[in-house]
Structure 1
Amino acid sequence: MARRAAPVARHGKLPRRNPWTTVGKFVASSLAVALVSATAVVAWAVTDVVQTVPEGVTLAGETPGQPIPDINSIEGGANVLVIGSDSREGQGDGYGQHETAKLNDVTMLLHIAEDHSNATVVSFPRDMYVPIPSCPKVDDEGNPTGEYHYAMSRQKINTSLSYGGMACTVLTVEELTGIDIQYATMVQFNGVIALSNAIGGVEVCLAQSIKDPKTDLDLPAGNVSLKGKDALQFLRTRHGVSDGSDLGRISNQQLFLSALVRDLKSAETLTDPVKLYSIAKVAATNMTFSQSLNNINTMVGLARSLADIPTDKITFVQYPNYYEGDGVAPLTSDAETLMDAIKADKNLSVTGGTGGSIPKDGETDGGTTEPPASTAPPETERPDSTEPPQDDTVELPDSIHGQNASQVTCADGNGR
């Protein structure tokens, strides 16, 4: 029941109102409404996404159905393996033949430093010969059957997915790099299209136009905004860029991802929970996750951990290699230099050029843009590095190509 106001004395004075107090109360009440509304939107988004997340794939060492901690941001470092499957299964028409193939033609390892000061993404060439360890056999859903494949001393890395699913690719990269991988995710063609649409497209620079009949890609020179199928085909094309090799395609993918990071940061997407959960919902329904990553807060936490890392401290590199036979082989000593730096959470400086893309406006990229052309194994001795740079940055050997996310590079198209 409302309290009745006391009568005011006929000759008494009402207290004077301070206009700033009134404004302050208005602002405070408006802010409260805004915060409650934002919280409600986020809560709705989280609930909506969680209901759509399918059961994740079990990696070696994971327990099926094991509860995942409810976290909103990750603490410490993280290693995430991102796999792009070449399988056409369930993808519809328009992607060429080999519909039954299950190859990890894109394999990338994201490492986030313990203190979130830097991040590195390592791309592994699909035709690189590596040992494949004993992997669990999997059923049609990608889950272990309890049986194992024999270990193999030398196979192309992109065959690991066909031997034992995502878990086998994780084990293969762990053995190659010596890095423990906590999280893994896999995407197919339609998933890339859906994700590029969800983020609103990515603007990239083309030094020359791209014409690739094998992927139906036809793009003009200049700045181009890529989304949907154009984004997918840009990431897939190799005949349309650089020297037409898979190594040149890796450079194209790094160019795209660098532009993506810049776009996400400029739009403040990585600090906007509503945007992040919206994108996470698309990811949840278009990608396959390990049990450890099959949690919406974990996905968002990983993304948010990149928000405070400067773009020049987010580095994309190609695993060092040399041509051998019908593929490539690891440059062992240079790979050890790279992996040691990553394990120590060092920031990386790329001196070997981009490997295919062209610096915008004629800026130097610190090295050649040509992929490695050696046909013989390199020297096995590692360079003396007893005096690390004072800024805690490791200067990588010039056999390692790549760029950091602050560098604006242009795709070297073939449509001259």
Structure 2
Amino acid sequence: MSELSKRSGGDIQVAGAAPVARHGRLKRSAAWKAVLAFVGGALAVVLVAGSSVAAITVWQLQNNIDVVAIDADQHGPPPPIGEYEGGFNILLIGSDTRDGQDGIGGKETAVLNDVNMLLHVAADQKSAVLVSIPRDTVVPLPRCEHGGPATGEPINTALYYGGLPCAVLTVQNLTGLDIQFAGLITFKGVIAMSDAIGGVDVCIDGPVVDPYSGIDLPSAGTWTLQGFDALAFLRSRHGVGDGSDLGRIGSQQVFLSSLVRKLKSDGTLTDLGKLYSIALAATQNIQLSANFARPDTLVSIALVLKNIPLENIVMVQYPGKTGGDGIFTGKVEPVKSVANALFAAIKADQPIGLDANALEGAHGGSALDPNAPAPTGSPTPDPTASAEPATETTVIPGLKGQNAATYTCSVHN
């Protein structure tokens, strides 16, 4: 049973009178159209936890992982543990499949990639940027196993046309970046991961109520969400921002930044029991590309990510807008000028900076938390991490997002 609680002052209180998302409320087929951005956090847990779990059970856990080959796997295995040098790109996908998802509900048979996140780690391994690509973004599709090429289709059909390899090709074509690693997680994986980590604190600036997703947070404040409650919050569109998928991404970034802070600040990495539970939940509900599934690769990448300071981890939306016509009717139209600038900076390994408007106007997805702790109350830095910040950042006007060190609130609809 998932637990919904509210933080009041310094304590966590169970909100007994507050409605909680239950199995029955999540069985409506229409309610499951969006998989969650929690996939990014789920896989981040696997990566960060890997370095600590390796000495115990990582080799046994590998047997749980469903493996699929992508083009990058043809270039041979990555370097051994601790020797990974340079930058890399990881595509993180969330699937709406019902295959093997007993108890989730819904009757849809389509397999769509409703969450698409591209994580880029710079060559100097001092900064990272996570780009969320809205599921309804209209893009060219490559020729894949079950169809294509095609134009004017939303990106979330790539998984249907050719599984994880097709999603990788689609994002490579869209961004111009080579993708070395890829992973996919399902609904049950999202639920299991949020339970294993013990919930994530999310701030909201007012009531977040969405009968379509089943989330019902009746008042402003900081709520601890896990299980079905985390699922309902992360997939909520009607309860946050302007009710669009773009607004939902802003809200999801509130969740992800809080998740990253929790992983780095509350002793998770030293709690072997929790680490094992997290790794077990992840590996039982995940598909990874062949090289990504290697335990030594997971540990090497974990060591890299663990040493990147929070303020150098930036989460942004792929630039897009709604309200277009033609093939963009009811969909998301890329803003190519901003997108081109973003990926040119990423290719050049320039750390991404955000201006004062990065949160404002982001379809109401997120806003600064007025009750955020003072700098002295910020998460304790990892003693093994480099204290050296990224030197110069590239600020791209029109880019929306936040960094992992910034405390933000989800904006209610």
| Bin of the TM-score, shorter chain as denominator length | 0.7 to 0.9
> Kindly tell me: are residues 320 and 347 of structure 1, through their superposed partners in 2, closer, same or farther at Cα, counting changes over 3 Å?
same
Could you tell me how far 1:186 is from its partner in structure 2?
Answer: 0.5
Residue 127 of structure 2 aligns to which amino acid in structure 1?
N
> Kindly tell me: are residues 239 and 41 of structure 1, through their superposed partners in 2, closer, same or farther at Cα, counting changes over 3 Å?
closer
Could you tell me how far 1:188 is from its partner in structure 2?
Answer: 0.9
Residue 353 of structure 2 aligns to which amino acid in structure 1?
S
Q: Quick one: percent identity of the two aligned structures?
A: 47
Specify the alignment match of 2:335 in structure 1: 331
Residue 221 of structure 2 aligns to which amino acid in structure 1?
G
Specify the alignment match of 1:344 in structure 2: 348
Q: Contact 2:72–2:180 (CA<8 Å) still a contact in 1?
A: no
Which deviates more from structure 2 when the two are superposed, residues 81-90 or residues 275-284? 275-284
**Pairing partner for 2:133 from 116, 124, 147:** 124
Residue 330 of structure 2 aligns to which amino acid in structure 1?
D
Residue 397 of structure 1 aligns to which amino acid in structure 2?
P
1:410 aligns with 2:403: no
> Kindly tell me: are residues 347 and 61 of structure 1, through their superposed partners in 2, closer, same or farther at Cα, counting changes over 3 Å?
closer
Distance in 2 separating the partners of 1:303 and 1:238: 32
> Kindly tell me: are residues 42 and 339 of structure 1, through their superposed partners in 2, closer, same or farther at Cα, counting changes over 3 Å?
closer
1:175 aligns with 2:187: no
Distance in 1 separating the partners of 2:339 and 2:216: 36
* CA deviation map 1:251-302 (0-9, x unaligned): 1111111111111111254577876565333221111111121123322332
Unpaired runs of at least 5, structure 1: 1-38, 138-148, 364-389
Q: Contact 1:196–1:227 (CA<8 Å) still a contact in 2?
A: yes
Distance in 1 separating the partners of 2:186 and 2:391: 40
> Kindly tell me: are residues 154 and 410 of structure 1, through their superposed partners in 2, closer, same or farther at Cα, counting changes over 3 Å?
same
Specify the alignment match of 1:367 in structure 2: none
Distance in 1 separating the partners of 2:225 and 2:174: 34
Unpaired runs of at least 5, structure 2: 1-50, 373-389
1:71 aligns with 2:86: no
Secondary structure of the 1:327 match is coil
Specify the alignment match of 2:393 in structure 1: 393
Residue 332 of structure 1 aligns to which amino acid in structure 2?
K
Secondary structure of the 1:107 match is strand
Specify the alignment match of 1:43 in structure 2: 55
> Kindly tell me: are residues 239 and 94 of structure 1, through their superposed partners in 2, closer, same or farther at Cα, counting changes over 3 Å?
farther
Distance in 2 separating the partners of 1:346 and 1:271: 33
Secondary structure of the 2:332 match is strand
Q: Contact 1:270–1:306 (CA<8 Å) still a contact in 2?
A: no
Q: Contact 1:280–1:299 (CA<8 Å) still a contact in 2?
A: no
1:54 aligns with 2:65: yes
1:190 aligns with 2:188: yes
Distance in 2 separating the partners of 1:247 and 1:312: 23
Per the normalisation by structure 2, the TM-score is 0.75
* CA deviation map 1:191-246 (0-9, x unaligned): 00111122221111111122111122112421111111111111111111111110
Distance in 2 separating the partners of 1:291 and 1:182: 10
Secondary structure of the 2:57 match is helix
Distance in 1 separating the partners of 2:86 and 2:353: 23
**Pairing partner for 1:80 from 90, 100, 114:** 90
Distance in 2 separating the partners of 1:318 and 1:236: 16
Please give the residue correspondences for 1:24-35 in structure 2 after superposition, counting only pairs within 5 Å. Answer: none
> Kindly tell me: are residues 317 and 408 of structure 1, through their superposed partners in 2, closer, same or farther at Cα, counting changes over 3 Å?
same
Answer with 1 or 2: which has the greater Rg. 1
Secondary structure of the 1:131 match is strand
* CA deviation map 1:358-403 (0-9, x unaligned): 211189xxxxxxxxxxxxxxxxxxxxxxxxxx942101112x2111
Please give the residue correspondences for 1:241-252 in structure 2 after superposition, counting only pairs within 5 Å. Answer: 241-252=240-251
Specify the alignment match of 1:216 in structure 2: 214
> Kindly tell me: are residues 187 and 313 of structure 1, through their superposed partners in 2, closer, same or farther at Cα, counting changes over 3 Å?
same
> Kindly tell me: are residues 118 and 270 of structure 1, through their superposed partners in 2, closer, same or farther at Cα, counting changes over 3 Å?
farther
* CA deviation map 1:33-86 (0-9, x unaligned): xxxxxx998533224323x3334111135359x767652563321210000112
Distance in 2 separating the partners of 1:247 and 1:283: 27
> Kindly tell me: are residues 233 and 297 of structure 1, through their superposed partners in 2, closer, same or farther at Cα, counting changes over 3 Å?
farther
Which deviates more from structure 2 when the two are superposed, residues 177-186 or residues 305-314? 305-314
Distance in 2 separating the partners of 1:234 and 1:274: 27
Distance in 1 separating the partners of 2:212 and 2:52: 47
Distance in 2 separating the partners of 1:159 and 1:49: 31
Q: Contact 2:59–2:295 (CA<8 Å) still a contact in 1?
A: no
Q: Contact 2:73–2:180 (CA<8 Å) still a contact in 1?
A: no
> Kindly tell me: are residues 233 and 303 of structure 1, through their superposed partners in 2, closer, same or farther at Cα, counting changes over 3 Å?
farther
**Pairing partner for 2:159 from 161, 166, 169:** 161
Distance in 1 separating the partners of 2:350 and 2:270: 25
> Kindly tell me: are residues 70 and 55 of structure 1, through their superposed partners in 2, closer, same or farther at Cα, counting changes over 3 Å?
farther
> Kindly tell me: are residues 394 and 202 of structure 1, through their superposed partners in 2, closer, same or farther at Cα, counting changes over 3 Å?
same
**Pairing partner for 2:205 from 204, 207, 218:** 207
Residue 334 of structure 2 aligns to which amino acid in structure 1?
P
Residue 336 of structure 2 aligns to which amino acid in structure 1?
T
Q: Contact 2:127–2:312 (CA<8 Å) still a contact in 1?
A: yes
1:101 aligns with 2:136: no
* CA deviation map 1:300-329 (0-9, x unaligned): 332332222111110000011122212122
Could you tell me how far 1:91 is from its partner in structure 2?
Answer: 1.5
Between the two structures, name the one with larger relative contact order (CA 8 Å, sep ≥ 6): 2
Specify the alignment match of 1:298 in structure 2: 297
Distance in 2 separating the partners of 1:277 and 1:309: 23
Could you tell me how far 1:88 is from its partner in structure 2?
Answer: 2.3
Distance in 2 separating the partners of 1:60 and 1:251: 31
The alignment's C-alpha RMSD in Å is 2.6
Give aligned pairs, total: 335
Distance in 1 separating the partners of 2:66 and 2:336: 38
Secondary structure of the 2:71 match is coil
Could you tell me how far 1:95 is from its partner in structure 2?
Answer: 4.3
Distance in 2 separating the partners of 1:103 and 1:234: 20
Could you tell me how far 1:118 is from its partner in structure 2?
Answer: 0.5
